[in-house]
Amino acid sequence: MSTLDVMLNPKAAAVVGVSTTNPFSPGNVIFRKLRFENQLDAFPINPKGGLVEGQKVYKSISEAPEGIDLVVISVAAKYVPSVMKECAERGIKAVIVVSGGFSETGEAGENLQNEIVEIANSNDMTMVGPNCIGVFVPRVLDTFFLPSERVARPREGNVAIISQSGGWLVERLEEYAARDLGIAAAISIGNAAQTRVDDFVEYFGNRDDISVIVAYIEGFPEGEGRDFVESASSVTVNKPLIVLKGGKSEAGHRATQSHTSSLAGSAEITSAAFKQYGILEAIDEDEVMAYSKAFSFKLQQMQGSRIGCLTVSGGHGVIAVDEGDHYGLEFPQFDKSQRDAMREVMTPSYRDISSFRNPCDLTGSASDIDYERVLDVMLKFDNIDSALLLLLPYAPGISLQIGARVANVAKRYQKTVVSYVPYLGKYEVIIRGFELNGIPVGDTIEEAVQMLNGIRKRSEFLQRMGKLRAEK
């Protein structure tokens, strides 16, 4: 078992820095979560001793009970080295330092950070932080010093998130929870003084229960950028790695210096390296969400960029084409024989008012069976690599079963199918019907198109790697 396994699934933990007078201090919030929410054997540490939440407070790590395998440190920066030394003496192998006041503050803080890294390295100790909010694993571990009632937590799932920004990470968890996208773990690495993004990328890349990895990165210390992309290359051939890179602009570059003390580097060079090594670079948070959701499903690769679109609203089809054009996706026009084949399977009473040029406007009279039959015909076409279904559930012929019906069709073909359904509570059952049957749903047309774009980019990388391997 690796020390990261221990850190993310501890049997007992200690929190250094609880307060006997302030129940809302970061240390106290963390202790309550570990003890009462995660049901861990958790021990509060404060040199003054006393009681916290009815639990005995130990005066030091040295006095705490045996069996502790994770320590969360939340004390002033100047005290962290001595606490780390105590942890080393107890043989503790996993430490999370949430305290700030290190390299992000200047030379003195950087020296202090170097000191704790040396302690960790010389004692075979894995350290996350400093200057982070910690680690969250659904049902297992939550060291975020934010009260649970103020922050949503996603359900258990197959997405792993690594972030140099704690605030960015918290917002993503809110969004994932709102969209019912489950995660396996969320890691705030802060200054990444010892354990870096690439360490977690490699670790999550080897876990079978994780399908997609997401990382927010502001930059790399000198020489670590190459390490990151090279270590990522062994992961991206097996599962998607999505990266949102901060600090691209000159102003953003300056901001990273005071945040995580990282080097932003050249945006052009970084993007080129990401593409070469199969890293999916998201341009914004919307793409992070779209890619995360798409790759949380087991999807077919796209052989090209040609999209077939079915809709009950001509206007929605126009928007989809505009969005697709922005991403380099094509909506090829169907020839007469193809149009006739789709028209033939439509309900007779309104087949003549439908349009089948692509996007195919089935009109507001279309029913489940029309979507099902037309999709079955369209996915046979050689000039279509994937399908985009724009579904407006207020059409009277659409039932709650449409997701399962079209999914049964999609399963017969080796082509990607993505849907758009307005993200409204009254349509939740329809959305679930799609997603439980393996079709990801975007809550905007743009998000659905972004999903297709991400799948296309990953497919191109895998196809390129396949050709390279064949050539060797």
Residue 286 lies in a domain: yes
User: Mind listing the pLDDT tens digit for each residue in 162-178?
Assistant: 999 999 999 999 999 99
| Contact of 431 with 423, CB cutoff 8 Å | yes
Instruction: Say whether both 249 and 340 belong to one domain.
Output: no
Instruction: Say whether both 2 and 111 belong to one domain.
Output: yes
- Report pLDDT for 467: 66
Instruction: Say whether both 315 and 282 belong to one domain.
Output: no
Residue 3 lies in a domain: yes
Instruction: Say whether both 172 and 121 belong to one domain.
Output: no
Residue 146 lies in a domain: no
Tokens 């994780």, residue located: 210
**Alpha-carbon distance 97 to 68, whole Å?**
16
Q: Where are the alpha helices (DSSP H) in 206-263?
A: 224-236, 250-259
Instruction: Say whether both 311 and 459 belong to one domain.
Output: yes
Confidence at 258, pLDDT banded by 50, 70, 90: very low
Q: Cβ of 463: how many Cβ atoms within 10 Å? A: 14
Mean pLDDT of 272-283: 94
Residue 145 lies in a domain: no
Domain that holds residue 234: 152-296
Mean pLDDT of 261-269: 61
User: Mind listing the pLDDT tens digit for each residue in 391-448?
Assistant: 988 889 999 999 999 999 999 999 999 999 998 888 899 999 999 999 999 999 999 9
Residue 28 lies in a domain: yes
**Alpha-carbon distance 458 to 189, whole Å?**
26
Using alpha carbons, select from 156, 190, 196, 220 the residue that is nearest to residue 72: 190
Instruction: Say whether both 382 and 420 belong to one domain.
Output: yes
- Report pLDDT for 256: 40
Residue 383 lies in a domain: yes
- Report pLDDT for 247: 57
User: Mind listing the pLDDT tens digit for each residue in 192-215?
Assistant: 999 999 999 999 999 999 999 999
Instruction: Say whether both 69 and 126 belong to one domain.
Output: yes
Residue 223 lies in a domain: yes
Please say which residue of 296, 323, 348 terminates a domain.
296
Please return the burial class of 131, using the count of CB atoms within 10 Å of its CB with bins 0-12, 13-18 and 19+. buried
Please say which residue of 270, 296, 322 terminates a domain.
296
Residue 443 lies in a domain: yes
Q: Cβ of 188: how many Cβ atoms within 10 Å? A: 27
Instruction: Say whether both 123 and 201 belong to one domain.
Output: no
Tokens 């001595």, residue located: 82
Number of domains in the chain: 3
Instruction: Say whether both 211 and 335 belong to one domain.
Output: no
**Burial readout 77-107 (b: 16 or more C-beta within 10 A, e: otherwise):** beebeebbebbbebebbbbbbbbbbbbbbee
User: Is 60 exceeded by the pLDDT of residue 250?
Assistant: no
Tokens 């302690």, residue located: 119
**Alpha-carbon distance 76 to 64, whole Å?**
20
Instruction: Say whether both 263 and 288 belong to one domain.
Output: yes
CA angle in degrees (0–180, nearest 5) for 194-199-201: 145
Instruction: Say whether both 349 and 443 belong to one domain.
Output: yes
Predicted TM-score (pTM) of the model is 0.92
Please say which residue of 243, 261, 296 terminates a domain.
296
Q: Which residues contact 29 (CB under 8 A, 6 or more apart)?
A: 145, 146, 147
- The residue that leads in pLDDT, 337 or 266, is 337
**CATH (domain of 27):** 3.40.50.720
Instruction: Say whether both 368 and 445 belong to one domain.
Output: yes
User: Mind listing the pLDDT tens digit for each residue in 134-152?
Assistant: 999 999 999 999 988 888 8
Mean pLDDT of 28-52: 96
| Contact of 227 with 199, CB cutoff 8 Å | no
**CATH (domain of 274):** 3.40.50.261
**Alpha-carbon distance 339 to 377, whole Å?**
10
